[in-house]
Structure 1
Amino acid sequence: MSAGNSTPYGVKSLLECMCRATLLAQPDDIPEFMSTYVDKMAHFRDEDSRDIKEVAYRYQEQWGKNICL
């Protein structure tokens, strides 16, 4: 079994979005930033969006627009 097959569905997408947000925001407290980011992403998710990849990318897109303002 390869390492790529042992990663749970959506984890790679979630980590990519979290890392990108962290690099863009350059927070002083990275653990606190990530905690807040994931908490807000969980609240962003609506009833119809249960696919973690879709939620991660949609939230990242919205978050990116807000940080650039």
Structure 2
Amino acid sequence: MSANNSTPYGVKSLLECISRATLLAEPDDIPQFLSTHVDEMTRVRDTELRDTKEVAFRYQEQWGKSEGYFI
């Protein structure tokens, strides 16, 4: 993290990923959807990847395909 950028590494990618998923899914219960979505991303990070940006990208791609969205 540099002095010019106070946003922690990967936060922008994480927010883009969960925002896009929320907009595409249009869930009735947004807080529950976000909780589940972030839990799944955390599971992917813990088992497959360590880089936050890579987790966001791959999970977004995987989620989009499984939900029938083209991301």
Please classify the TM superposition score into its range, dividing by the shorter chain length. Answer: 0.7 to 0.9
The corresponding residue for 1:62 is 62
Q: Post-superposition shift, 1:45?
A: 2.2
Residue by residue, what CA displacement relative to the aligned partner does 1:20-63 show, whole Å, maximum 9, x if unpaired?
00000000011110000000111122556211000011000000
- Kindly tell me the number of residue pairs found equivalent between the two proteins: 67
Structure 1 vs Structure 2 CA RMSD:
1.6
- The structure showing larger relative contact order (alpha-carbon pairs under 8 Å, at least 6 residues apart) is 1
TM-score when normalising by structure 2 = 0.85
Q: Is the contact between residue 45 and residue 51 of structure 2 (CA under 8 Å) also seen in structure 1?
A: no
Name structure 2 gaps, 5 residues minimum. none
Q: Identity over aligned residues, as a percent?
A: 69
Name structure 1 gaps, 5 residues minimum. none
Residue by residue, what CA displacement relative to the aligned partner does 1:2-34 show, whole Å, maximum 9, x if unpaired?
5xx011000000000000000000000111100
Question: Which is worse superposed, 21-30 or 38-47?
Answer: 38-47
More helix by share: 1
**Secondary structure, aligned partner of 1:45:** helix
TM-score when normalising by structure 1 = 0.87
